[in-house]
């Protein structure tokens, strides 16, 4: 079997590099293994690489190399296939897109298994790996570590993999709950740590050892503060911290300020680290977050009991509290000090826990971890075959909005036993399924309860459960033009199909408003803005005409929120009309570009209804419903620009523009923004 690891760089130092090498070396004894390093930034890797492993660098970024490609024309262009919200996006380019694609179409085409070692590289695996290969993504951070925008961007790529592997069961559980992937196995396999080349510590020393990147999330300041309590009682003990990172100078300053410079040492990076662990008697970790905890396992394999914060997710799955280490609350300096003193004052307990640590950490041996991977590879061969079948299926459908609001989706190529799967793009746990009949037709009933948002439509294949996105051919949206005539007990609803961009995948836009004010005509004249509209749904029957005229609320978003209110007039049975001056929000401007919501209070004691236009067939109002812009001379600069305004000394007049427009949710907004000075 040929196994290919795709990694950012194999030439540096770090947990992902180390664990990749540990696993690759163990697998190399039974399989053909390659490590594809997207970048090569130094001549020789910092970690030793087993000669049985083939290393394939794709882009040379070594400063002194004659083949340095930092200025390659494609390297200077933004990547198209690497996720835009990935932390390393700026380092990737059209050149990385091209090189990864070329490798797996050429020399790497024979790979039976391809493993991506970070989110962006898992996306590359999903898009470029050879047909028929088992596709695996590894999560070396955690679900919660990533921003919502990246999780949303990654969903389609993870959905295309055969398996997604986290390093802790806690994180796998979060993925399964918050990002369900019906055709992708989501499971936990821990990182591997080899048996150390040195004998375990005998726990007789007087040194506490910590190791890891000197970064804020490691909270070494908590460890230093705790050690200050320890050394006040046990001055013969010292603390050694191994690693490098941006917090080094802050930590050095803290050590000096606390007078600990004779007992706390910043040792710098060491490789191999095992001989340094073995010099210690106790290991310590005070991280506020750990996806796994490689250093904990390293210390345990070297015979050290570990005092660690009980942070998500790794430590509690590595340390048996009270048996091979002690877990303490995150950020609790006193608890860390107490746990250290407990082990310091009881050498027999240290020895007992250290021996247990050696025994318990054997489950992280590369041979044990590699067997879990190999068993998974075998299990996933069937999944890979089903995925290849799904990849060959490209469903195309027509969609009609019926007069009552129901949708009819008809596949041009019917698939027996398939279902129409509609998944909300910003909440993947929210899914509706509707069966296709033998003719390839599925009906979304008019009373189907879709939450507000964008929904992606796929064919869910029988057996594998794999979803294949539908390409829209013909969309008949006429039924949505009469959404305002339909009544629902829970408010107003509208479900409109539309083609996504650029691939024309079938999407649904759902609006659900318990209380709704539907915007109508907007007129901009002489510095005034007039908005007409109509209360719809249950709100229409709650309008309190006896309580006075309706009130328009113009509310600034964000910090410094403020309401401007304007009485309007009732028109007909449920209509309203308001007029307000464009100069009013402009006079309160406090940012270069700010937004104001429009809301209608239709009864004195009622929650105001957001003014929006959602009861028709136009999904994106902003580009279509365009209104004149009002430009005003700025009477006073807002606070952030007063200095800049004084600097102009009258040489250029500042202006502000006020425009009324629709957001991507089709809510009506007022935008106040500076006009650039020319």
Q: If DSSP states are collapsed to H, E and C, what string results for 6-20?
A: EECCCCCCCHHHHHH
Question: What is the average per-residue pLDDT within 423-446?
Answer: 95
Instruction: Give 345-386 pLDDT, tens digit per residue.
Output: 999 999 999 999 999 999 999 999 999 999 999 999 888 887
Contact 143, 171 (CB under 8 A): yes
Is 53 a residue whose pLDDT tops 80? yes
Cβ atoms of 286 and 223 within 8 Å: the answer is yes
The pLDDT of 256-274, averaged and rounded, is 95
Q: Quick check: 376 and 135 in contact, CB under 8 A?
A: no
* pLDDT band per the 50, 70, 90 thresholds, residue 198: very high
Is the omega angle on the peptide bond into residue 417 within 30 degrees of 0, that is, cis? no
pLDDT above 70: residue 651: no
Strand residue runs (E) in 343-491? 396-401, 407-411, 419-424, 431-435, 441-444, 453-460, 467-469, 471-476
Q: Which of 254, 272, 666, 309 is nearest to 498 (CA)?
A: 666
Alpha-carbon span 63 to 44, nearest angstrom: 13
Q: How confident is the model at residue 503 (pLDDT cuts 50, 70, 90)?
A: confident
Average pLDDT for the chain: 93
Contact predicate 137/158, CB 8 Å: yes
Query: Rounded to 10 degrees, what is the CA torsion of 220, 254, 247, 147?
Result: 60
Centre a 10 Å sphere on the Cβ of residue 639 and count the other Cβ atoms it contains: 11
526 Rama class: left (phi>0) / alpha (psi -120 to 50) / beta: left
Q: Is 387 exposed, middle or buried (0-12, 13-18, 19+ CB in 10 A)?
A: buried
| Average pLDDT of the residues in 273-279 | 96
Neighbours of 149 (CB within 10 A): 12
**Alpha helix ranges (H) inside 294-405:** 294-301, 314-318, 333-344, 347-360, 366-392
> pTM of the entire structure?
0.80
The Cα angle at residue 504 between residues 500 and 509, in degrees rounded to 5: 35
Confidence tier at 649 by pLDDT (50, 70, 90): very low
CA–CA dist 384, 160 (Å, integer)? 10
What does 521-572 look like in DSSP terms, one character per residue? EEEEETTEEEEEEEEEGGGGGG--GGG-S-EEEEEE-STT--EEEEE-EEET
d(C-alpha 233, C-alpha 220), whole Å:
20
3-class secondary-structure state, position 634? coil
| Percentage of the chain exceeding pLDDT 70 | 96
Confidence of residue 648 (pLDDT cuts 50, 70, 90): very low
Best CA proximity match to 295, nearest among 172, 212, 365? 212
| CA 511/CA 72 separation, integer angstroms | 47
pLDDT band at 635 (very low <50, low <70, confident <90, very high): low
pLDDT of residue 502: 81
**pLDDT tens digit sequence for 82-92:** 999 999 999 99
Residue 113: which of 91, 96, 129, 128 has the closest Cα? 129
pLDDT of residue 539: 63
**Token couple for 330:** 């995150």
* Residue 348 pLDDT: 96
- For residue 640, name the pLDDT band (cuts at 50, 70, 90): very low
- Give the pLDDT band of residue 678 (cuts 50, 70, 90): low
> For residues 80 and 128, what is the distance between their CA atoms, to the nearest angstrom?
13
Across the range 443-447, mean pLDDT stands at 96
The yes-or-no verdict on residue 391 having pLDDT over 90 is no
User: What distances in angstroms separate CA 479 from CA 10, 69, 407, 519, 617, one per listed residue?
Assistant: 57, 55, 9, 19, 8
For the chain, give the percent of residues with pLDDT over 90: 84
């Amino acid at each position: 079997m040929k196994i290919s690891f795709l990694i950012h760089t194999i030439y540096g130092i770090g947990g992902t590099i180390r664990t990749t090498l540990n696993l690759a070396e163990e697998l190399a004894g039974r399989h053909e293994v390659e490590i594809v390093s997207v970048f090569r930034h130094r001549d020789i890797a910092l970690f030793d690489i087993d000669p049985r492993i083939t290393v394939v660098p794709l882009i040379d970024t070594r400063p002194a190399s004659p083949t340095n490609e930092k200025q390659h024309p494609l390297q200077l262009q933004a990547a198209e296939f690497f996720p835009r919200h990935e932390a390393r996006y700026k380092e990737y380019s059209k050149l990385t897109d091209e090189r990864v694609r070329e490798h797996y179409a050429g020399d790497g085409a024979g790979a039976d298994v391809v493993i991506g070692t970070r989110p962006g590289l898992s996306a590359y695996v999903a898009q470029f790996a050879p047909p028929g290969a088992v596709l695996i993504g590894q999560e070396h951070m955690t679900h919660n570590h990533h921003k919502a925008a990246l999780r949303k961007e990654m969903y389609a790529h993870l959905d295309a993999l055969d398996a997604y592997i986290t390093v802790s069961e806690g994180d796998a559980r979060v993925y399964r709950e918050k990002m369900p992937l019906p055709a992708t196995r989501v499971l936990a396999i821990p990182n591997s740590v080899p048996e150390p080349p040195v004998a375990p510590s005998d726990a007789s020393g007087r040194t506490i050892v910590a190791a890891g990147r000197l970064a804020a999330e490691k909270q070494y300041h908590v460890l230093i503060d705790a050690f200050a309590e320890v050394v006040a009682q046990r001055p013969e003990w010292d603390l050694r911290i191994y690693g490098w990172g941006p917090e080094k100078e802050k930590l050095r300053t803290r050590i000096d300020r606390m007078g600990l410079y004779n007992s706390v040492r910043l040792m710098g990076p060491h490789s191999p680290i095992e001989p340094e662990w073995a010099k210690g008697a106790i290991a310590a970790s005070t991280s506020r977050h750990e996806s796994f905890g490689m250093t904990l396992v390293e210390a345990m394999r070297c015979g050290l009991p570990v005092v660690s914060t009980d942070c998500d997710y790794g430590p509690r799955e590595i340390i048996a509290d009270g048996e091979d280490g002690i877990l303490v609350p995150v950020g609790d300096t006193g608890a860390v000090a107490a746990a250290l003193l407990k082990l310091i004052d009881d050498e027999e307990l240290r020895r007992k826990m250290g021996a247990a640590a050696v025994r318990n950490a054997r489950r992280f041996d590369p041979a044990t971890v590699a067997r879990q991977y190999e068993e998974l590879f075998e299990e996933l061969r069937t999944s890979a075959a089903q995925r290849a079948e799904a990849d060959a299926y490209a469903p195309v459908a027509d969609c009609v909005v019926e007069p009552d609001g129901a949708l009819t989706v008809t596949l041009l190529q019917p698939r027996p036993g398939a279902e129409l799967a509609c998944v909300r793009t910003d909440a993947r746990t929210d899914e509706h399924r509707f069966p296709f009949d033998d003719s390839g037709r599925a009906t979304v009933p008019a009373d189907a309860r879709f939450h507000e948002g964008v929904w992606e439509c796929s064919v869910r294949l029988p057996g594998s459960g794999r979803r294949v996105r539908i390409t829209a051919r013909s969309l008949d949206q006429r039924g949505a033009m009469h959404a305002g005539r339909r009544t629902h007990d829970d408010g107003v609803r509208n479900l409109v199909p539309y083609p996504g961009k650029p691939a024309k995948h079938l999407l649904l836009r759902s609006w659900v408003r318990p209380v709704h004010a539907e915007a109508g005509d907007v007129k901009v004249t002489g510095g005034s803005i007039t908005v007409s509209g109509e209360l719809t749904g249950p709100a229409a029957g709650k309008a309190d005409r006896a309580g006075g005229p309706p009130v328009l609320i113009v509310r600034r978003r964000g910090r410094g929120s403020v309401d401007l209110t304007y009485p309007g007039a009732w028109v007909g049975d449920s209509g309203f009309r308001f007029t307000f001056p464009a100069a009013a929000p402009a006079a309160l401007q406090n940012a270069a570009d700010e937004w104001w919501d429009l809301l209608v209070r239709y009864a004195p004691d009622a929650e105001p209804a957001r003014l929006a236009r959602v009861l028709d067939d136009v999904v994106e109002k902003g580009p279509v419903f365009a209104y004149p812009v009002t430009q005003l001379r700025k009477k006073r600069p807002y606070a952030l620009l007063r200095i800049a305004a004084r600097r102009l000394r009258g040489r250029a007049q500042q202006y502000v523009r006020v425009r009324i427009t629709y957001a991507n949710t089709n809510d009506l907004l007022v935008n106040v923004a500076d006009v650039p000075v020319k």
